[in-house]
Amino acid sequence: MSLDHAAKPAVSDKPKTARLAFSQHMNEVSLFLAILVLYLIFASTAPGFISFNNQVNILRDAATIGIAAWAVTLIIIAGEIDVSVGPMVAFISVSLAFLLQWGLPTPVAFVVAIAFGAFLGAISGVLRAYFDVPSFVATLGMWSALRGTALFVTDALPVSIGRNDMLDALDRSVFGIPPAAIIMLVLFAAFAFVSRKTAFGRSVFAIGGNPHAAFLSGISVSRIRVGLFAIGGAMAAISGILLVSRLGSGNATAASGLEFDVIAAVVVGGTALSGGRGSMLGTLLGVLVITLIGNGLVLLGINPFFQQVVRGLIIVIAVLANIQAIKRSLSRNKG
Amino acid sequence: MTAVSNLAPAHAVASLRDCTRRYPGVLALDNATFAVAAGEVRALLGKNGAGKSTLIRMLTGAEIPDTGSVTIDGVELSGSGSTRAQDSFQKGVRVVYQELSLVPGMTLAENLFLGRWPRKGGVIRYADMEAQAREAMAQLGLDLPPDRLVAGLSPAERQLLEIARAMLGRPKLIILDEPTSSLAAAEADKVMAAVTRVAAQGIAVIYVSHRMNEIRQIAHSATIMRDGRIIDTVDVKGADTREIVRLMLGSEASQAAALEDRSQPGIVLEVHDLALAPKLSSVSFSLRQGEVLGIAGLLGSGRTELLQAIMGVRPFDGGDVRIGKQSVRSAGYKDMIARGFGYTPESRKEEGIVPLLGVDENTLSTNFSGVSRNGILSSRRMAEATRKIVDRLHIKTARTDTPIGTLSGGNQQKVVIGRWVYAGSRVLLLDEPTRGVDVEAKAQIYSIIRQLAAEGRSIIFVSSEIEELPLVCDRVLVLRDGTLQDEFKSPHIDQDSLMAACISGH
């Protein structure tokens, strides 16, 4: 009996959520199939696609997107977004080049660059967590300010670093595999572990799934949000360092549009933009899809402007097919 | 008790004749005959599930009676589905629900005509609209510039705007569903004044509320429902609160068996003159160790605000909260958790659970480090710790990592309580823990609460379901008009007195 008048139905949506675990795998299986299909198509049509050298290229390109994408996956799972990745990479590459020009020892310069990236990311995080600035706006501001600063101080010219053994080593393949790819995979393992096996990682899922409930359970929602953006900045900084090792200079115009590749990879990987759901493995597959498309279209010699059209179409179709596959498996399971 | 003579159908604006509506397993409306006349304000009372909502849906055409007929403005409603609802609307039936449906970022006038803006060639005629809005609002004594944003309005003004919207197009019957439940007393007066103005224009009003002082002020008569039946329609002036409570509750077992009082002398929490405008003016009580303290009160009496103020979720204006000799006035939510307090929110879905995550993570989120080794979550420990809670609280789940969203409401609620048991909290503040939970799970939750108290934990149990308080609580305090008005101690907690204490006026 109640004095309250409002109806309070006991809702249980059993069939729907019970299948989510399955559809999560559905998503990864279908992505894996998509990658196979892309391989088959490009291997039979694009000359040189299947060569060892090109596979190494694919891995190196994947590293550029992947390293940033691991952090952005967590950010998106937490229900946030980070669009500042590209300018952050460029800005850090310029900063690192200056640090080296000023004669800082290379390892110290690396640490400073990564810490600086984390600090800049944390600024967006603090704006989001403590001042309620939507993360899209906070990182959009960062996007514009970082690119602008980098261009302003360099006049859009590359900042050369001269000879640097350590940076050269970072660009020298180990048993044919570029270090960038190795770093990407090591970081992938770390992120996959953190996201599944640590209180921090699980709190990220809880915050994305229901921030109120997470707060009331005693999870430090604000601190974790700041931490996430700091990690995002640090990962972009690592990409920035690898960029310097590859180009031999800091470059304010580099990594243009990288943020869109990163977000596309995460979304293609099945992470929900609304937060609360997603996986590192999905993002890894998403990164491969995005990289393969880029690589294959270049080898096919398609007009670069038209490549963008094809890429856009493929991304939308991939996500659409993924959603349809999940829906189908849901309705089939409902029986 | 003077029964009001049944109104002749000729005067009735709206009437139900012998209406019965059966849902699977429930008789929602049992042979109900009801009529309301032009210019009359009729209060509608009844506990949850008494059939008030079904009766309202009959009048609006949202539901069709299995047997019997509904007549609006002298014409019987026919048709089904949306045509029936449109029919009822066109004949002049309007409902104003508790949940406000205004767009805060738009102006008063825009909201008043939402979706039906007067326009010419697709362009909204603002001058026209605002003039009409001004007139519509003036009828209710709402004197505000129509180009103001709704975002800046007080809750009472928003409620008045809703009523003004319902008044457009000359309605015959306006149904108000607990219009003052979210308002403080002074604000409620404005709404009641408006209701009187509405009735003065010859419009029939059905006023769903449980605040007897309001009902006495504005209603002519009150219809009391119970178990789908219309029990009686009484003259408000002549009826006393006890009598109305008796009609609402019937002759159910009114006293529960005495509970074994295990509470100990130690005081774990003291609240002194806590004030939180506009809901709470001065609340004082103390909680003993091992005690289950019930807090009863109507919807909107400030129950949730009280718990949130104690927990540090919501800052309060005055007074003090003390643990032992120490004031925790400035303690934040995390401090309170660290001091052994746990809080379960009223809305389980919005604030209680993370539906996609497993039972384990929903339970362990209060203390992940308890199941970690060197900062790494141990699957084995997680499963063990969750299994303990699952077994203790009899949570029905196939696995400990089943997504919590797939569990029934009762089992979800047990997890939400279980997370504080896992965290080792000594004081639990439970806000409506049995809301939206089936009967069996309710009984289980009661026994869980008694068991936790027997172990020396102290519990504050907030509930709007009067009949469960005697089953669980050692002591019940009644929250009304911003303060704690009455105290009942087990075994002298009876439903009738509790209900009367909740609804009676100043």
Domains in chain A with CATH codes: 31-36+48-324 (1.10.3470)
Are A218 and B350 in contact (CB < 8 Å)? no
How is B431-476 classified by DSSP, letter by letter?
ESTTTT--HHHHHHHHHHHHHHHHTT-EEEEEES-GGGHHHH-SEE
B241 vs chain A: nearest CA distance in angstroms? 15
> Quick one: what percent of chain A has pLDDT higher than 70?
90
Which span out of A6-15, A312-321, B380-389, B440-449 was modeled with the highest average pLDDT? B380-389
pLDDT digits (tens, 9 = 90+) for A195-229: 988 989 999 999 999 999 999 989 999 999 999 99
Q: Give residue B5's pLDDT.
A: 43
pLDDT at A182 over 60: yes
- Classify B127 as helix, strand or coil: helix
A189 falls in which pLDDT band (50, 70, 90)?
very high
Q: How far is the C-alpha of B467 from the C-alpha of B11, rounded, in Å?
A: 39
pLDDT of residue B241: 82
**CB-nearest partner of B435 from A1, A8, A203:** A8
pLDDT at res. B2 = 41
Kindly state whether A32 is in contact with chain B, defined as any CB-CB distance less than 8 angstroms.
no
Asked if the Cβ–Cβ distance from A11 to B368 is below 8 Å, we say: no
First-last CA distance in chain B: 22
User: Would an 8 Å CB–CB cutoff place B340 in contact with chain A?
Assistant: no
Our CA-based measurement puts residue B127 at a distance from the nearest CA of chain A, in whole angstroms, of: 36
Q: How many helices (H) and strands (E) does chain A have?
A: 14, 2
- What pLDDT score does B256 carry? 54
B366 — contact with chain A (CB < 8 Å)?
yes
- Over residues A188-194, the mean pLDDT reads 96
The confidence score (pLDDT) of residue B430 equals: 96
Class of domain B12-92+170-249 as given by CATH = alpha beta
**Binary contact (A5, B372; C-beta < 8 A):** no
Class for the domain spanning B267-503: alpha beta
CB pairs under 8 A between A and B: 140
Q: Look at A10 and B410 and tell me if their CB atoms are within 8 Å.
A: yes
**Residue B230 touches partner A, C-beta closer than 8 Å:** no
A40 touches B: beta carbon within 8 Å: no
Average pLDDT over chain B reads 88
Residue B4: which pLDDT band, with cuts at 50, 70 and 90? very low
Q: Residue A209: which H helix or E strand, with range?
A: helix A199-209
Cβ contact, residue pair B249, A1, below 8 Å: yes
Give tens-digit pLDDT for A44-60. 998 899 999 999 999 99
User: Which residues in chain A touch residue B352, judged by CB atoms under 8 angstroms apart?
Assistant: 213, 216
**Non-local CB neighbours of B3 within 8 Å, separated by 6+ positions:** B232, B233, B234, B235
Q: Round to whole Å and give the CA distance between A197 and A192.
A: 8
B252 falls in which pLDDT band (50, 70, 90)? low
Average pLDDT of every residue of chain A: 88
Question: Which residues of chain A make contact with B52, given a CB cutoff of 8 A?
Answer: 5
Indicate the angle between helix axes A52-77 and A199-209, nearest 10 degrees.
Answer: 60
- Give the per-residue SS3 of B28-63: EEEEEEEEEECCCEEEEECCCCCCHHHHHHHHHCCC
pLDDT (average), residues B269-279: 91
Min CA distance, B455 vs chain A (Å)? Answer: 22
Q: Measured between CB atoms, which of A10, A20, A213 is closest to B353? A: A213
A209 in contact with B, Cβ within 8 Å? yes
A189 touches chain B (CB under 8 A): no
pLDDT of residue A335: 42
Residue B259, Cβ density class (10 Å: 0-12 exposed, 13-18 middle, ≥19 buried): middle
pLDDT band at B184 (very low <50, low <70, confident <90, very high): confident
- CA-closest candidate to residue B446, choices B232, B257, B317: B257
**Termini Cα distance of chain A:** 37
State yes or no: pLDDT of A16 exceeds 70: no
d(CA B16, CA B82): 19
* B352:A17 CB<8 A: no
List of chain B residues whose C-beta atoms are within 8 Å of the C-beta of residue A8: 48, 435-436
Residue of B249, B354, B437 lying closest to A214 (CB–CB): B354
Question: pLDDT of A115-149, one tens digit each?
Answer: 999 999 999 999 999 999 999 999 999 999 999 99
Highest-confidence range of A180-189, B38-47, B142-151, B238-247, by mean pLDDT? Answer: A180-189
Two tokens, residue A116: 């600086």
pLDDT at residue B360 in the model = 95
Q: How crowded is the C-beta side of A67, counted as CA atoms within 13 Å?
A: 27
**Residue numbers in B near A1 (CB within 8 A):** 47-49, 249, 465-467, 495
Position A334 confidence tier, pLDDT thresholds 50, 70, 90: very low
**A27 contacts in chain B (CB < 8 Å):** none
- Tokens 């009959």 sit on residue: B58
pLDDT value at position B243? 84
Residue A194 Cα, gap to closest chain B Cα (Å): 8
Domain B267-503 in the same topology as domain B12-92+170-249: yes
Whether A83 has a pLDDT exceeding 90, the answer reads yes
Alpha carbons B439 and B382: distance in angstroms, whole number: 30
> Looking at the partner chain, which of A11, A198, A213 has a beta carbon nearest the beta carbon of B377?
A198
Which pLDDT band holds residue A61 (cuts at 50, 70, 90)?
very high
ipTM for the complex?
Answer: 0.76
pLDDT of residue B263: 72
What share of chain A in percent tops pLDDT 90? Answer: 68
Q: How much of chain B, in percent, has pLDDT values that exceed 90?
A: 52
Whether the pLDDT of residue A187 is over 70: the answer is: yes
Q: Answer whether B246's CB lies under 8 Å from B485's CB.
A: no
Give the distance from residue A111's alpha carbon to the nearest chain B alpha carbon, in angstroms.
24
Is the pLDDT assigned to residue A18 strictly greater than 70? no
Interface probe with B: pick from A23, A27, A77, A216, most Cβ of B within 10 Å: A216
Q: What is d(CA A78, CA A274) in angstroms, rounded to the nearest whole number?
A: 9
Contacts of B299 in chain A (CB under 8 A): 3-6
* Residue A226: closest CA among A136, A125, A85: A125
- Contact of A164 with chain B, judged by CB distance below 8 Å, is answered with no
Average pLDDT over residues A99-119: 96
Task: From chain B, pick out residues whose CB is under 8 angstroms from the CB of A11.
Answer: 349, 409, 436
Kindly write down the DSSP assignment for every residue of A76-96, as one continuous string.
HHTT-----HHHHHHHHHHHH
Interface residue B361 vs chain A (CB under 8 A): yes
Sequence ranges of the domains in chain B: 12-92+170-249, 267-503
Q: Which positions in chain B touch A216 (Cβ < 8 Å)? A: 313, 333, 343-345, 351-352
Q: A188 and chain B: CB distance < 8 Å anywhere? A: no
SS3 B367: coil
